[in-house]
Chain A
Amino acid sequence: LHYAPIATISYWLPSKTNASRESLKMEPLADCSLLPGEERIIDKDIIYICPFSGALKGKVFITNYRLYFKSADADPAVTLDVPLGAIGRVEKMGGASSRGENSYGLDITCKDMRNLRFALKQEGHSRRDIFDILFKYAFPLSHGLLLFAYLSQEKFEENGWSVYKPMEEFRRQGLPNDKWRVTFINANYELCDTYPTILVVPFKATEEDLRKVCTFRSRGRIPVLSWIHRENQAVICRCSQPLVGMSGKRNKDDERYLDLIREANGTAKLTIYDARPSVNAVANKATGGGYEGDDAYQNAELVFLDIHNIHVMRESLKKLKDIVYPNVEESHWLSSLESTHWLEHIKLVISGAIQVADKISGGNSVVVHCSDGWDRTAQLTSLAMLMLDSHYRTLRGFQVLLEKEWIGFGHKFANRIGHGDKNHADQDRSPIFVQFIDCVWQMTKQFPTAFEFNERLLVTILDHLFSCRFGTFLFNCERARDTNELRSKTVSLWSLVNSDLSFYQNPFYTPESNRVLYPVASMRHLELWVTYYIRWNPRIRQQQQSPVEQRYIELLALRDEYLKKLEELQLSDSSPNSSHLSNSSTPNAASPTQHITHLHTPF
């Protein structure tokens, strides 16, 4: 039993699930069934100031999971269904004495590229209760409450927590082997508290070596293997910056360790990709960080990839929101788009990943890092892996990729998204993961047949990145997840997805193993992901359905139908005596390939 993703929530069908008792009593919410574990908190008559259709009278319902609004008199009814997790900021708008129509109410800023404005009656502090409730339930962690994922009672056929098993994934890559070994040194998060428990390191590096290297890498994030090329044994390793500092410290263990990585497949030179612009890397020396100097790491070449930091990305997306919501900037749209730099950043991330993938294809091992190795590094390694390894382009493989490179290696989801936290101006927040998913979307756009999953999956992932309905993207690292018993107490997003795989499948998918996918990182081919960033605009939404996909599915159905008919005819032709049976000999629904085999074997 499952639910449609939020993106299409306005078309939500009444669910057949055994929703909680409370919800059954709620008459007005009948067209939007509650999730098991979801509870109604308050409802109120309100005016939704829709940026597209103007002020709409209706009723707003707030549960411990969502804000739901339904207009009373508009036809067709306008509905809003916003998970409270998507709310970034709630503010009061106007005061009791404000003049003008609908000037008194609430202003809600969402993390998913929209803002909501509600107006209420000015008399009798009518907004006080709803504001307080919204503030409390949208930011539960700031009020000593649990995130909804811990309250949800949802059950799915599939258990998404079993999608990723680190050992299994390493075995798929052919690891361990004689050059690379698996270490459990971090089993209790003692080596590095933001790393996963199972790590793959050079065979020749001892546990003692690892501990020594640990002291020279920011937050103990030592270089470990992410991916190995089956044929040429070149590897992608990831880590954080070396602690070089102002004095230009060196560390023999770190130098030797990187040389072990190089040695493992006999590469002459190890390439270190520092994701940052060189200026920033230099500036980091002041705070004890830095980069691998030429003289210290003689068998390595260092390349800066010029990707900016989380603050730049945050501001960039903010600017993008300004030009697309509520209305798409009309005059000089392209110049406005350029001035947000959003696509430029996308281009830099993708071209960085192309360079990594290209080096690996050429048989050279690489080490990728930024400052801490959990933002830009995760973007680069996972995109490069997506280009190199067709397994990650499948529905389940992509889940493994996210679990491994993002969740496992400690991308700070809790800080970057600010789940349940009221501090909307927190400088730690940044859309790094959104940017990564955008890069993936750009790749699926350029290679429409290379990915098993469709755009819906990407949108669903981003929706639940914020929603707090699933445990998948909660907390900063594995250690915190263990402490909070995440896997036993919450449901995985992959449970939802894998219980309805066909919904997320790309009909054009053509598996091609061993093919390296190089997207073109030119602005000529990068485009704004309109169906995500501008999806709230009704003018855009209509074009969401791909006519190409529709036509393809129609033709597939037609082919099956004809095959069936042809089989019937051949049956009746080959047995003229029993032609009267042709009607009753309708074959069972079977796959087209089966039909084809039937065609070749007449009776």
Chain B
Amino acid sequence: MFDGRVLLKQVILLFWPLISTWVQGAEKIDSCQLQVLEMLSSLGSAGGKSAKPSFVSYVTPEEIKSEKEPSRKEKHPDLLPGEVVFCSASTVLKYTQDDLSQRGVFGVLLCTNFRVSFVSDEEPTEEMLFKNKLYGENDIPLSCVDNIYGDKRKLITGGLVKNKYPSKMIIHCKDLRVFQFSLSFSKEEDAKKIFQGIVHHCLEPKSLRCLFAFSYCENTSYPGSYTVENTSYPGSYSYCREHLMWCWSHHSGCALFKTASIPLVQEDNVPQTYMEKMLTAVAHNHLYSVKTEDLSDTLPTVQDILLSYNKFKQFFLIDNTTEFWMSDMKWFSSLDNCGWLDIIRQCLQKAVEVVESLEKENTNVLIMEEGGSDLCCVVSSLVQLMLDPYYRTLLGFQSLVQKEWVAGGHAFLDRSNHLHLKDKVESPVFLLFLECVWQLQQQHGPAFQFSETYLTVLSDSVHVPVFTTFLFNNDGHRDSLLRVKTHAVWDWSVQFDCKAQDLFTNPLYTEKPKQDTSVRKSYRPRHLRQLSLPSSAFKTPPKKGFFKDEADNLKKILGVKRLSRWMLSPSSDSPQTSSSVREFYEAWQTKPLDYHGLLLPCLDGPSIRVWMQRYLRWIHDVQILGGGPVAMLSKVSEILGEVQELQRQLDRHGCTLTSNHKGARPRAKTAAAVIAARSSVRLSSSFPFVTSRNWAFKPAIPTSLLQSLMVTGMPGNLADREDDGGPESLV
């Protein structure tokens, strides 16, 4: 029986070109063809393991090049400097999700030291408007591969793959793309090789040196290369595993600090001296009281964050439309149960608490956690975003990330686990931070110079192993490994051309009004001053008299037990804290909103939302064609472009514009030109990630509508009643 199958398979492979032309010629596949295709695909999988087709109901290979055995050496993407092809297989079918019906395209699947790449046999269709120069829409950088599934949606783990290979391979990417490949039409040894190659390079442990960035950097001398160290912490506070780290100073003189918390297992007197040292450091120059918060006590752990995110992302990794619509009815409760939005809310809430201490109570704040470089980074950067408008500009945000995250010692390498090492704790902490920023931006759009697209692209770039920004665990680590010039993620020209980069600016952003010109001159140096360590030059605060007692008291407490919560806050239990935050928010809310001043997020249920652009961009069924917020923003950009053009004309006339025109004179480029040029093209809610081509003008009609709608437990069984049946039907 088995031998017979193998024989049959060989026969089929022999006549494959013939069969393929037959398939190609068919406009629509009939059931007979479907059966043969199913048989073929089941035979294609080694050993004919599953005779059942995968969940895709039918396949219409759109086109197969009729030329026999397309030479695979010719088919490869434009390789980057230092990129090497490991293996490849031709006649791989990639399922496309462009239409409501699932169809596929044949092509070559390759695995290089940078990416998994699919090169379609078809002529490339229209150019992507928002094209990434490093990888195309059918490329997956190796570190961007999240999970690989085989037949019957079995999760593939590295190291277990021997001679078998699945007939169908599904790749889930960290940027939420989903690829489905059928290997059943390829030559057996090719299919085996490519599958094993992909699994090996994407899932199995590797050494840091194998990451593509190293070969890339050695092979490029990029003129715009960045020296990453240009915005690191001044002075010796470069790394906070053992140090106290100053983050930001409020204009009143109080400041935010972060540190690694006291190790739990210690001799009794060690934490005391350690903590004492910390507090003296904070208190010495600053005659203010100190609030201390151990974030490990109040915020979720990095493991919690990973668990929650893993559940959350599943809602968007869609490889089956029916399942997608099935899950739609339970969407809100699923979202609730995975807890991701709640983690975002908790981080924002903690940041607001810290802001309150700095802004309202003018106390120093020291946040800590084990390691001091995960949630401390999240909270400290959020605090600065809320308090300091500089960090809401493109340049400011970049320096914030460099300062708090890169120089602040966030273990990017371990947290993104590029090396697939078992002993490292992977966790999307940086993504969590970007999520929080997105929430702020969503609520207070005009306050941010960068756009939503910028954040989305930044979140994707973490998984592009070309940039060294997010590749190391800390600065020391970086310095010990980097001998060559490196590429920072901030050099966006590596990934995008100028026009695409224009989409990073937010057309709603306005610079500080003009009347402040004189103020602004001194305003920039103020930031520089803030970047330097606070000196004792600050005025003696009125609280001076009390401080000594408090500090002594504090030291006493410290000697007894591990620090937790707000040491000096009168409201140290959680409900009170949250109500105080609520009051703080409400007081802030009653004042007129200043986009260049303090910003606070609303934390009510309906205000914390899902980052639609990032998570829904690839899901065809939920794209709003010709709609979405971009429809509005593009109109703003259009007008902004016109205004800027008029300004240039006026400038040519030597007209000085004296009036206070908010944001009328942009220094940064805007998206105006880009979008205006495209106004003929219909935008969708997935703009700019998915463009208009291949739009099906059929609407997506939700399937399985009623299955989960249970209207039970209604008094008197209302659901069965008549609308207006009169009294008789009400009985």
Residues of A whose CB lies within 8 Å of any CB of B are 277, 279-280, 283-284, 287, 306, 308-312, 315, 328-330, 332-339, 341, 343-344, 347-348, 351, 354-355, 357-358, 370-372, 375, 412, 415, 427-428, 446-450, 508, 510, 515-525, 527-528, 530, 534, 538-540, 542-543, 547-548, 551-552, 554-556, 558-559, 562-563, 565-566, 569-570, 573
Contacts and interface: CB of A to CB of B under 8 A. Distances in A.
A539 B328 contact: no
Given A311-B719, A519-B627, A552-B636, 16 more contacts: A330-B605, A344-B329, A351-B705, A354-B699, A358-B699, A412-B724, A446-B685, A447-B624, A449-B631, A450-B626, A508-B632, A517-B626, A543-B602, A551-B508, A552-B632, A559-B643
B6 to A, nearest CB: 46
A333 B339 CA distance: 11
A277 to B, nearest CB: 6
29 contacts: A287-B728, A306-B706, A308-B711, A311-B723, A312-B711, A315-B718, A335-B332, A338-B330, A341-B709, A344-B329, A347-B702, A351-B701, A354-B701, A371-B722, A448-B632, A508-B635, A524-B328, A524-B616, A525-B612, A525-B624, A539-B602, A551-B508, A551-B510, A552-B635, A555-B636, A555-B640, A559-B646, A566-B646, A566-B653
Contacts of A348: 705, 709
Contacts of B725: 287, 371
Contacts of B586: 538-539
B696 to A, nearest CB: 10
A569 B655 contact: yes
Contacts, number: 223
A355 B701 CA distance: 7
Contacts of B729: 287
A26 B542 CA distance: 52
Interface in B701-731: 701-702, 705-706, 709, 711, 714-715, 718-725, 728-730
A247 B662 CA distance: 74
B505 to A, nearest CB: 13
Contacts of A315: 714-715, 718
Contacts of B33: none
B702 A522 contact: yes
Contacts of B639: 552, 555-556, 559
B649 interface: yes
B635 A375 contact: no
B111 interface: no
Interface string B620-663: 01111111110111011001101100110110010100000110
Given A284-B722, A371-B724, A334 B627 contact: no
A565 B655 contact: yes
A348 B705 CA distance: 7
A357 B643 CA distance: 40
A283 B720 contact: yes
A447 B709 contact: no
Interface string B295-329: 00000000000000000000000000000010011
B699 A446 contact: no
Contact of B661 (A375, A447, A558): A558
A358 B698 contact: yes
Contacts of B446: 547, 551
Given A312-B711, A334-B605, A551-B446, A372 B642 contact: no
Nearest to A387: B699
A573 B329 CA distance: 66
A56 B720 CA distance: 45
Given A309-B721, A375-B723, A562 B650 contact: yes
A309 B632 contact: no
B46 interface: no
B508 A280 contact: no
Nearest to A316: B711
A312 B445 CA distance: 38
A554 B663 CA distance: 10
A520 B706 contact: no
Cβ-closest 8 pairs across A and B? A333-B605, A518-B699, A311-B718, A338-B332, A334-B336, A523-B331, A562-B646, A447-B627
B604 A539 contact: yes
A563 B508 CA distance: 21
Contacts of A312: 711, 714, 718-719
B335 interface: yes
B624 A277 contact: no
A542 B589 contact: yes
Contacts of B649: 566
A335 B338 CA distance: 11
Nearest to A562: B646
Interface in B409-448: 443-446
B511 to A, nearest CB: 13
A46 B586 CA distance: 26
Interface string B471-508: 00000000000000000000000000000000000011
B643 A558 contact: yes
B574 to A, nearest CB: 13
Nearest to A336: B605
Nearest to A276: B723
A450 B446 CA distance: 23
Contacts of A370: 723
A280 B612 contact: no
Nearest to A548: B632
Contacts of B400: none
A178 B333 CA distance: 53
A310 B723 contact: yes
A334 B604 contact: no
A358 B698 CA distance: 7
A400 B719 CA distance: 32
B551 interface: no
B723 A520 contact: no
B624 A519 contact: yes
B664 interface: yes
A333 B336 contact: yes
A520 B623 contact: yes
A527 B612 CA distance: 12
Contacts of A528: 606
Contacts of A527: 606
B443 A523 contact: no
A309 B719 contact: yes
Contacts of A559: 639, 642-643, 646
Among B621, B622, B635, chain A packs the most CB atoms within 10 A around the CB of B635
A520 B627 CA distance: 10
A520 B508 contact: no
Contacts of A375: 723
B700 interface: yes
A412 B74 CA distance: 71
Contacts of A309: 718-719, 721-723
A328 B721 contact: no
Which of the listed residues A283, A311, A354, A570 has the most CB atoms from chain B within 10 Å of its own CB? A311
Interface string B679-700: 0000001000000000001111
Given A335-B336, A559-B639, A308 B719 contact: yes
Nearest to B664: A558
Q: Which of A287, A570, A573 has the most CB of B within 10 A?
A: A287
Nearest to A340: B332
B442 to A, nearest CB: 11
B606 A333 contact: yes
A521 B704 CA distance: 13
A344 B647 contact: no
B627 A446 contact: yes
Contact of A371 (B631, B715, B723): B723
Contacts of B719: 280, 308-309, 311-312
Contacts of A530: 606
B337 interface: yes
B341 interface: yes
A556 B446 CA distance: 17
B606 A522 contact: no
B621 A335 contact: no
